[in-house]
Homo-oligomer: A and B are copies of this chain.
Amino acid sequence: MRVFVLLPVKLSEAKTRLSNIFSGEERAELVLCMLEDVLDSLRGLDVVVVSPDDLRKKLDYDFHFILEKEKGLNIAVEQANKYAIDNSADATLFIPADTPLIKKSHVKEILRLGKKHKLIISPSRRCGTGILFRRPPDIIDGRFTNTSFEDHRKEAALRGVKMHIYDSFCLSLDLDTPEDLKEFLLHGRGTRTYEFSISLVKA
């Protein structure tokens, strides 16, 4: 089974809900740290990074890089998904670039479950979607909204596809708000994101 990981990321105007704590430049750096933590869990896999920014120079990883055509997370994910389909992917795995608690073991387990289940989703905070595994990649459309967990469930029901729920606290914790950051600092030791954030918080 050939799986492509879909990883949308943008550096500018990112993480605005953290702007009381971090400057724009710091937030862009934070996004890069999180992305690298996520990429560390993905070594050896086909990873499609889709972004409006040219990240190839910034990162020492071997990934597929595509430039975002239009603004919007849904468009970016579907652009990467189409790229994967065009490159004969059997399945795709969307991973949010801001979940630095993800580990190689999570990815391995999701891919193992992906042999059995065609559609896997993990819950994220605030009614969102963490990861989204689709086999084949067009089994359902991506619905990355404010209520994306429910929207993906509806989409699955509409298509008659059974949805397997991957239960993980680590994958549910994205870093959007100061409260998220506080919780992350409790669990994120050993990550680049932790080192970077703690240095700023302590400064």
Contacts from A to B (Cβ < 8 Å): 122-123, 125-127, 149-150, 167-172, 179, 182-183, 186-187
Given contacts A149-B186, A150-B186, A186-B150, contact A169 B126 (CB under 8 A): no
Q: Is the CB of A183 within 8 A of B122?
A: no
Q: Is the CB of A127 within 8 A of B182?
A: yes
Candidates B126, B172, B183; contact of A127 at CB < 8 Å: B183
Q: List 20 A-B contacts (CB under 8 A).
A: A122-B169, A123-B169, A123-B186, A123-B187, A125-B183, A126-B179, A126-B183, A127-B182, A127-B183, A127-B186, A149-B186, A149-B187, A150-B186, A167-B168, A167-B169, A167-B170, A168-B168, A168-B169, A169-B171, A172-B172
Q: What CA separation (Å) do A171 and B123 show in the bound complex?
A: 12
Q: A175 to chain B: closest CB distance in Å?
A: 15
Q: What CA separation (Å) do A169 and B99 show in the bound complex?
A: 14
B residues less than 8 Å from A123 (CB atoms): 169, 186-187
Q: What CA separation (Å) do A172 and B172 show in the bound complex?
A: 10
B residues less than 8 Å from A183 (CB atoms): 125-127
Q: A109 to chain B: closest CB distance in Å?
A: 10
Q: A104 to chain B: closest CB distance in Å?
A: 13
A172 nearest CB neighbor, chain B only: B169
Q: A8 to chain B: closest CB distance in Å?
A: 22
Q: A34 to chain B: closest CB distance in Å?
A: 18
Q: A154 to chain B: closest CB distance in Å?
A: 12
A127 nearest CB neighbor, chain B only: B186
B residues less than 8 Å from A167 (CB atoms): 168-170
